[in-house]
Structures are given as C-alpha cells and as structure tokens.
Amino acid sequence: MDQRVFEAMKPYLLDHFGNPSSIHRYGREIRAAIERARKNVSDILNVAPSEIFFTSGGTEADNTVIHNAIGSLEIKHAITTKIEHHAVLHTLQHLADSGKIVLHFVELDPCGQIIYESLEKLLTAHKNAFVSLMHGNNEIGNLMDLRRVGELCKAHNAFFHSDTVQTLGHVDLDLSKNNIQSIAGSAHKFHGPKGIGLMYINADRQIPPLLIGGGQERNMRGGTENVAGIIGLAKALELVHNEKAESQAKLSEFKKYTIEQLQTRFSNISFNGLSADLSRSLNKILSIGIPGIEDNDMLLFNLDINGIAVSGGSACASGTSVGSHVLDALNPDESLGTLRVSFSKFNTKEEIDYFVEKLGEAIG
C-alpha cells in the first residue's frame, strides 16, 4: 500500500469513529467523507457519483452484477470466455448448472485474444444477452478492446459487464465514452487497501442488490460501510490517476528490461499470450514459459526461499494443486513450466536482476 494512502486512512481508523448512517454530528462527518470519496472516484471515471457503489472487492462486484442483472432482467443467455477470472467464470457456470442461463464461450485465437467475429455471431444468435469480458487478463495480461466490444453489445442490445480489476487505475477508463453497463474494481491492484472495491452500474440499467440490510449505498449494498477502506480506495485511485504517466513509464521499463534479461540469459524461453507485447498487454504482468521444468511447484518454492514472490498462474490459485485454466484454454506445451511475474512502481532493476539470477540457479 502506498504510504500516502495509509496516512489518508489513519484518521478513519483511530479518530473518526461515527457510523455514516447515524444522524448525529459524528455520523454526518463520516457520511460527508464517503460522499467526497465517491465523487472523486466518479470524476476519474467520468460518470455520475450515483453510479458508483463500494463493495468488499472485485469478486463481490462481479457476483452482484452477474446474479442480479441476469435475474432481474430475465436474461436467458450469457456470453464470456474460458479465460475469465473465476469470480466471473465460476459464477456464470453456477447459473448455467442451475438451469437459469445458457452459457456461451467466445472463441479465442492462439494468443488468447477474443475473435470478434465469434462474439458478433453469438450476439446475433442470442439477442439481449449478458456479456462479461475482462478488460485485462490477470494471468497473461492481454488487453481487450473495450470500446469495440461495447459497440457490438449496443448493436445487439446486450448487457455488457467487464471485470476491470487489473486495469482500473492503470489504463484510462472514461466510461462515458464506452457502451458499458457495469464494471468491477479492487483497490489493492493500485496500491490501496485489500478488502475494498467498487462497482459501476449505469443509471439506465438499474439492478437489485446482492446484499440486503440497512439500505446503505443507496440500497445497493446493505451493511455498515468500510469507511477507512473507502477513503483509502479513493486516495489510491487519485494518486495512480494523477501519477499515471510516470508510473506507467516505469512499469513498461521494468517489463521490457525483464524480457531482455530473460532472453539474454535463457535461449529457449517463451512468453504466454500477448504477455511480451508491450502495446497489447498490461505492463505490470509477464507470463513466462520455461522449457524442461518437471515440477513447477518446486521451481516456485526455490524462488520463494530466495525471497522472490511469483506465481505459477493466477495468484488466486496459489497454494493449490489446481493448474491455470487460462493456460489450459490456450493449449500450451505441457512440457513448459510457467511463472507469472507482477511488477510494481516500487520495484527496482536490481530486484529484476536478482530474480533472473536466482531463476537461472533454480533451473540449473
């Protein structure tokens, strides 16, 4: 977490204790702080404050939109890909297994990019569908053309939701210029606190809440607000937005440098998806294919004991024996080991050099 985010949160953890639903002065002060945070977020995304709702994170936001848009709008068909985050994929599959929807998958090219002709074909065959396609893939970093998908969905009256957890704060998201009904975001992806996120829901496509309680978040999310988290999310988004040019240049430099160092050290290394394409992938994610690795978990363990935190796929699956569904969908060479490296503005080139050195020692 950015130190400045913590400093912004600190008074709301120690001093400002009022419940924002209370009418006394202490409560009103907190309510005003939350609404200022909401206004700051909405200004950055260029939407109305009333279209921003705070959640516990991206997973809750995805679930809220998926369950309640499909249920309230009586949608019978949903369209997604096999490389979505599990917060989307498992939720849609659950609805399909329950007989509430028919689930359709957009075809992908060998790099994991959406084949837009396949999407258009599905939209033509299934009008008024629910479409959920992530803006930036959390494992291989592929970026999707948000505007192009939005235009296709608009032409076929589809509800378009996008998991933007990986891109919010890192990629310009002017939601007023995209035909998109909802997004999900999470603060810890842009140096904010964990356990707080947001969802945008277009005012023209209102849906009922997932959590019902005291009517918080304008009846869209029951439960006393995570005040410090909300303050932290807004501050983190403000910082990453205002400092985007500098931080994005640094991340691109780190990723390019890592690719160069890996290619210099290892002659047969490869990169999954569009991960090595700086113009078409997130500059904070690099997915590496390493030949001759019989035990990927042991490779991760060897790096871990040297203080290097990387994963074999999505961090959400770390600590389990379940392989990456994203890489499975791309039909990879099963003889390749896989590492997913994530970069931060707080990293250094010296850390990258250390990683490449220790990877070489681990591979042998």
Same domain, 170 and 286: no
Confidence grade of residue 97 (pLDDT, cut at 50, 70, 90)? very high
**Domain with 42 in it: what CATH number?**
3.40.640.10
Task: Check residue 285 and give its pLDDT.
Answer: 97
**Given a cut of 60, is residue 317 above it in pLDDT?**
no
| Set 103, 259, 278, 316: catalytic member | 316
In terms of residue numbers, what domain contains 305?
Answer: 244-363
Same domain, 51 and 130: yes
Give mean pLDDT, residues 15-26: 95
**Given a cut of 60, is residue 126 above it in pLDDT?**
yes
Torsion of CA 186, 189, 195, 197, to 10 degrees: -20
**Domain with 263 in it: what CATH number?**
3.90.1150.10
Same domain, 21 and 127: yes
Same domain, 178 and 268: no
* Domain termination residue (choose one: 242, 264, 283): 242
Confidence grade of residue 280 (pLDDT, cut at 50, 70, 90)? very high
Same domain, 229 and 266: no
Task: Check residue 320 and give its pLDDT.
Answer: 52
Nearest to 139 by CA among 325, 331, 332: 325
Same domain, 227 and 248: no
**Is 316 designated active site?**
yes
Which tens digit of pLDDT belongs to each residue from 74-91? 999 999 999 999 999 999
Sign of dihedral through CA atoms 167, 172, 178, 180?
positive
Confidence grade of residue 272 (pLDDT, cut at 50, 70, 90)? very high
- More confident of the two residues 328 and 27: 27
Task: Check residue 101 and give its pLDDT.
Answer: 98
**Given a cut of 90, is residue 10 above it in pLDDT?**
yes
Confidence grade of residue 291 (pLDDT, cut at 50, 70, 90)? confident
Give mean pLDDT, residues 46-63: 98
Structure tokens given for 241:
């937005």
The side-by-side arrangement of strands in the sheet containing 102-105 is 52-55, 197-201, 182-186, 159-163, 130-132, 77-80, 102-105
Task: Check residue 313 and give its pLDDT.
Answer: 65
